[in-house]
A and B are shown apart, each in its own frame.
Chain A
Amino acid sequence: MINKFLGFEPDKDRLPSATAKIGDDIDLSSHKYQKIWLGPNHPGVTGNMAIELWVQGNTVVKAKTHVGYLHRGFEKLIERRLFVQGFPTSIRMCVAEPDTNEYLIATCTEQLSGYDKAVPEMAKWLRMLSLEMARLQGLLRGVPGQGGTFALGLGVQWGVYLRDLILDRFEELTGARVYHMYIIPGGVRGLLPDGFKERMEDNLRDIDDFIIRIRKLMFHNSVFKKRAKGLAIITPEMVDKYGIVGTNARGCGVKRDVRKDDPYLHYDKLDFDPPTGTEGDIYTRTWVRWQELIQTVDLIRQIMAKMPEKGDIKAQMPNVLHWKIPKGETYVRLESGRGEYGMYYVTDGTEKPRRVNLRGPSYTHAIALLEDLLVGADIADVHAIMVSLQTCPPEIER
């Protein structure tokens, strides 16, 4: 049966204006607007976050992000604990890539205590390997996940299966699947198990195959193209104005990547060029992430090929139960899968930190940026826009 509404485009000029000012001038009693909540338990919404929407018909005229559903006071808890006790707490500040927190808190404590130069070479390569593996498992969920917001569920199932294989490698390397506690002050907890590289190579070959299949599934799909192209555009002018980082910035041509701009560990010894786009819409951002998936697989292969076979993995450190760090402060950053991820760390000469403050990319992307990008969007696209910014609520409310 032919759908008589196929190709129907409403004449929006006949509707009341959808460009109401962002403020308190939206009068719900006028019956021109309606208020609805998306989340905190909406399946399309990343994690436990809610968006309060004011809509006119299907068009969003105002949006407010609400966080706090996951607040566990991590920063406060870390301030009340010994330096080493901060580790199991810190990794929970971002579930998507917990290893980034391990690296930040380890590097902050090493820099402030003067042990940063003592970290062995082998440990730096292993740290880099675990960070890239974390990026890979995040992308395996994130790239097809964008398709999932437009009802392409199949890619998500492929991605989650392959992510589980990477979690298997994490389990081999660290003993844990999600929260690894592998990067510790002074180095890492263990060497690669026997046969690890071969098993990882097997997984990477499966992922190579997935990369081709997901390209056909998503980027050759007319529904995905039609809905993602031209949606939620980020322009280069917006990047500094909103503090946009990572693939959200690179998607509109602003090439910023901490691994290149301020190389840490041994990233300067790897051959890679961060992919960029030009359009800045959801389609381009997803395309950039798809290319980053290829690059991450390549980086893992490069790391495994270039890392030494043997070596110390941990520097001689003070007894962590009696460890006092001199008064000081630092800021350490890295390039997570979602962009610049940093930590401001202040010590006061005691056995506990004075202040720990995480700078997660979602703090900007999911509040100031998301609220502005949603204005004028269709209700059906709200969760797609949110996912396209790679929001991670735990890093907002720490």
Chain B
Amino acid sequence: MSYLPYAVAAWICLVGIAGVATSRNLIHLAICLTVMQSSSYVLLLSVGYVKHGKAPIFKGTKLGTTAVDPVVQALTLTDIVVSVAVIALILGLALDAHRLSGTVDPDRLADISG
């Protein structure tokens, strides 16, 4: 059991958050958000990984064949679908922001505060 995948997942998550927090461009920011989310894919897949496990397709295989966990793969797929919807929306809003103000810098967009 290696700790490396978990360390990688934590690193990707932190790098993603740091990117979102410091980004000066909404498109760049949306990509950072995807980076952050990919940490959960890495984490999920490493959670379900079994050494020498086959892909979880059971048609024609013997009972008792070792396979990796299919649940985490389903979760990862759902996770990707969910994030696509969110990212599409943010990119759409970034386009509108650019059309209205000529900038995609979130700091310069901030005309409401307090």
- Decide if A and B are genuine partners: no
